[in-house]
Structure 1
């Protein structure tokens, strides 16, 4: 009888009452191209809150919660280095043309990104413990036990609630999935052919160069036998991409 209209199967309505807000500190440092290299570093410390979901059908306003898109820390660093060998560079300016063709003019690039994981939620769970006991120290987390499954969750399927006035939060800022990270590298060289104003650009990109695994979110269903475990990964394995472009 807690359903507002028990004689209807479902009712869908839309109202312009949702909202969100975002605050951030953004830092950018850059060493512009000189002496054959350039480096850029960016860091963002932020918080994204939203009120776009209801805890209960009878609530007058959406529930204010940490957003599923919130990533409090994000680092992005990139750099380009012109290998100092070849025409117009520090070494090998007088290399024979055939040697210059293969060894001179190379450029190496790198991009590093890392960000916090997504906040986790446990649905309309029955919880009779201290929320502070759910997260585990980083040294104790593993794919088999990402958080404390014995912190106070009722895991008996027969005792789960169907229609109740929910008070358990949607998501928790302090309980998150694994950090996401990647290293991408590139190698570029321009080959000049018949005329000085015509060149062929060779580029080799390798994405996730270190072939690191980014774990997907753990299972957050208390009644599941896989509760608290991670069974998959996000993102792609190491991937190479080779290209040739004619510039004129």
Structure 2
């Protein structure tokens, strides 16, 4: 006897969801705790069990460091150990701690090259016992990102690819399509002014430049605190954003 039509449709939907990488299933999310940002993300936060990309707004070291601290803040708000993969020994652990990611939670892996680094990331994502897996890469192909995305889906662990470049010619690779669910860009802004001489809390221009099943947006935020949480500017949180010429404001 032929299968009932309803049963056939259900099977077809299940196959489509598998081909889409489970996009039709409800995923657990990690909210930022800021409605202005969370409402831009499907489910109200960063999807767990997915790959996300973060890059600095330029090819300089300052914006690159801000991207790494943003990733550290996300990882800090997960549970369990965090695997952080690098190809060069220039990661500053005290800075990660200021963003909420304490050294005792981090397992550092120094890979010989980016091919080995991607393999370490994939293995970490497949393990399933980690809070997050972070890897610093210059290039990320569709094939490599798809492998990381599938590994993250299978374990439920969040993966973060921090895009760091050694030369200006590598920046263009960030515009190429990947399987990442979201893609962020972080640029440094002048720090928060203080009533006395000194340097206030750092500020970033945080751009959500790609979001699967979501919208692009940009926000001016204060950098991660000791719990890994970002905040909107105080004047914006109070509902009275200034209208300085040339300043980019958080999308409403």
TM (norm. structure 1) is: 0.23
TM (norm. structure 2) is: 0.23
The structure with the largest helix share of the pair is 2
The structure with the largest strand share of the pair is 1
Bigger CA radius of gyration: 1
